[in-house]
C-alpha cells in the first residue's frame, strides 16, 4: 500500500516537533505535522518558558531589597506588568518562529489545522482533507482542568495567567502541586496578595516530605497565606467586580481572581482514537508500551498525552526513542528511571531519585541531611534556609535520592542527577572535594547520617 507520508505527527509541541524533524532530517523519512494552535506547545507557549520568565521577573523584588542591605543605593519602584508581558509575548513569538523554521529546514510539511485519526493509517484535517501515513504519532499534550464546583467558570487556569491585562490586587490559587506553588511565589514576588488553598495536609504531594515542608514554611514566611486542608465550596461573582469565595474552613473572602491549578488531563477528546482501536485510560490518557506503541501497531503516542512522566525533556526523549525504534531499526525503550526535575517555587527545589519515604518503604536506608542559612542571606539577617539531602541504601551504599531546596536548586540537581544516574555511592560523594564557599558543598561534606530507617 502506498502512503502520502512515512510519518504523520499530530501536535506541534516539543515532543512532536523533535520526533518529526529527526525522523525527516536524520532518518530521511517523509514527514508531516499538524498543529491546531501555536507551535511550541504547552512548554513554550503557556508553560515552562513564560513561567520561568515570570519567575525571573518576580525575583527582582527581593533582589532589590537585598541590594540595599549589601550597600547599594537602590530605590524600588512598582512592577510594570504590561511592559513585561509585551516583552514576554515577543519572546514567545520568536520561539514559535524558531520551531517553525526547524521543521521547515528539516523538510517537514506542516498543516496549521486540527487533525484527527480516521483509522490506523489515515488522518483527517479540519479543512476536510485526509492524509495517509505508514505511522501516526500522537503528541497532543494536555490541558488544565477546572474542578466541579459552583461558579468554577469564574476562575482562570494556568493557560490564562500569562494574558491578564493587569495583575490582580488579591488572588486565590487553588491547588497544591508544583504549578500552584510556582505561581503563588511568582505573583507574590510581583506584589500581588496571594492566598493558596490546598485540600491535602501538605503541598507538593509526591515530593520528599522534608523538602516540601521547608518550602511551605518559606512560602508563608515570604507572605503567602497558605491554607492546607482547605477547599472551595462555591464561588459567586460580585456586582462591583471580583469573586466571593466560600471555603470549607468557614472563610468567606473576596478575591479579584481565582486561579485553578488542580490538575491536567490529556488532550484526546474528539481525536477519534478509540474508534480507531487505540486504548485510553480512565482520564483519557493513551495507553502505550515501553516503545510508545499503542494497541494499534501503526499508531504511537508520546508526551503528556500518555500521562507517564509529564515533563518536556521526557517528551523529547520519548520522541527520540520513537524515531530510533521505528525509523532507525534500533528498538529503544523509553527510560523513565531517575529523571532529575526542578520545581521553581521560591525557594526552588531540585530532586532526583526516591524520596526518603519511598526508599524507606523499599529497603533499609541512611539519611544525610542539613538545613542552614546560606551565606548570602545570613550576612543581611534574612531568615531564609536551604536544605541538602541524600537518601542512601545501607546495603549497596548507592545514593537513591538527592533533594535540594535552595536558590539555583534546578541548576544544582542537573549535575547531581548525572552522579545518581551513574549509580554513585555515598563514598563517591565523600571523595569529591568541596567547592568553597558554596551552598552545594554541603552535598559532599555530610559525614554522618541524621537518621536511619
| DSSP 8-state assignment for residue 411 | H
Partner residues linked to 387 by β-bridges: 371, 405
Angle between helices 48-69 and 178-189 (to 10 degrees): 40
Q: How far from 362 is each of 359, 399, 400, CA to CA, in Å?
A: 5, 14, 11
Q: 319 near 15, Cβ under 8 Å? A: yes
The CA-atom distances, in angstroms, between 234 and each of 152, 237, 400 are 8, 11, 43
Active site residue 436: yes
Catalytic residue among 163, 236, 403, 436: 436
How many angstroms separate the CA atoms of 401 and 418, rounded? Answer: 12
Is residue 374 within 8 A of residue 384, CB to CB? The reply is yes
Helix (H) or strand (E) holding 365: strand 365-372
- DSSP code of residue 150: T
Give strand ranges (E) for 130-221: 130-138, 142-144, 156-157, 170-174, 193-198
What is the CA angle 392-396-398, rounded to 5? 45
Coil, helix or strand for 39? coil
Pick from 229, 211, 160, 219: nearest CA to 194: 219
Q: Which of 204, 200, 154 is nearest to 178 (CA)?
A: 204
Cα–Cα distance for residue pair 117/267, rounded to 1 Å: 13
Asked whether 430 and 444 are in contact (CB, 8 A), the reply is yes
Indicate which residues carry an active-site annotation. Answer: 436
Amino acid at each position: 500500500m502506498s502512503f502520502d507520508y512515512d510519518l504523520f505527527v499530530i501536535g506541534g509541541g516539543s515532543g512532536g516537533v523533535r520526533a518529526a524533524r529527526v525522523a525527516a532530517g536524520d532518518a530521511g523519512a517523509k514527514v508531516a505535522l499538524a498543529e491546531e494552535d501555536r507551535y511550541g506547545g504547552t512548554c513554550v507557549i503557556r508553560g515552562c518558558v513564560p513561567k520561568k520568565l515570570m519567575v525571573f521577573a518576580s525575583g527582582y523584588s527581593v533582589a532589590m531589597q537585598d541590594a540595599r542591605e549589601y550597600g547599594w543605593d537602590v530605590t524600588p519602584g512598582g512592577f510594570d506588568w504590561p511592559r513585561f508581558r509585551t516583552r514576554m509575548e515577543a519572546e514567545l513569538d520568536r520561539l514559535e518562529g524558531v520551531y517553525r523554521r526547524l521543521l521547515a529546514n528539516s523538510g517537514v510539511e506542516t498543516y496549521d489545522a486540527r487533525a484527527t485519526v480516521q483509522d490506523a493509517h489515515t488522518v483527517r484535517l479540519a479543512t476536510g482533507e485526509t492524509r495517509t501515513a505508514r505511522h501516526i504519532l500522537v503528541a497532543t499534550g494536555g490541558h488544565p482542568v477546572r474542578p466541579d464546583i459552583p461558579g468554577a467558570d469564574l476562575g482562570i487556569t494556568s493557560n490564562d495567567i500569562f494574558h491578564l491585562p493587569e495583575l490582580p490586587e488579591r488572588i486565590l490559587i487553588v491547588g497544591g502541586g508544583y504549578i500552584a506553588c510556582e505561581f503563588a511565589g511568582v505573583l507574590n514576588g510581583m506584589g500581588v496578595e496571594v492566598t493558596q488553598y490546598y485540600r491535602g495536609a501538605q503541598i507538593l504531594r509526591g515530593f520528599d516530605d522534608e523538602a516540601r515542608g521547608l518550602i511551605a514554611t518559606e512560602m508563608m514566611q515570604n507572605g503567602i497565606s497558605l491554607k492546607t486542608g482547605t477547599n472551595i465550596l462555591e464561588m459567586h461573582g460580585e456586582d462591583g467586580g471580583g469573586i466571593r469565595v466560600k471555603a470549607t474552613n468557614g472563610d468567606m473572602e473576596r478575591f479579584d481572581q481565582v486561579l485553578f491549578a488542580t490538575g491536567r488531563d490529556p488532550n484526546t477528546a474528539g481525536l477519534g482514537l478509540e474508534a480507531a482501536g487505540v486504548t485510553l485510560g480512565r482520564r483519557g490518557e493513551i495507553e502505550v508500551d515501553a516503545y510508545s506503541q499503542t494497541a494499534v501497531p501503526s499508531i504511537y503516542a508520546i508526551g503528556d498525552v500518555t500521562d507517564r512522566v509529564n515533563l518536556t525533556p521526557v517528551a523529547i526523549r520519548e520522541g527520540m526513542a520513537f524515531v530510533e525504534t521505528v525509523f532507525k531499526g534500533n528498538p529503544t525503550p523509553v527510560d523513565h528511571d531517575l529523571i532529575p526535575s526542578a520545581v521553581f517555587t521560591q525557594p526552588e527545589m531540585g530532586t532526583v531519585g526516591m524520596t526518603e519515604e519511598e526508599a524507606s518503604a523499599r529497603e533499609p536506608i541512611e539519611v544525610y541531611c542539613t538545613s542552614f542559612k546560606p551565606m548570602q542571606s545570613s550576612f543581611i539577617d534574612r531568615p531564609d534556609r536551604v536544605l541538602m539531602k541524600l537518601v542512601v541504601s545501607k546495603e549497596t551504599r548507592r545514593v537513591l535520592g538527592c533533594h535540594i531546596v535552595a536558590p539555583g536548586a534546578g541548576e544544582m540537581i542537573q549535575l547531581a542527577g548525572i552522579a545518581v544516574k551513574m549509580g554513585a555511592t555515598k563514598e563517591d560523594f565523600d571523595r569529591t572535594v568541596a567547592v568553597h564557599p558554596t551552598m552545594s558543598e554541603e552535598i559532599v561534606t555530610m559525614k554522618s547520617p541524621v537518621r536511619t530507617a
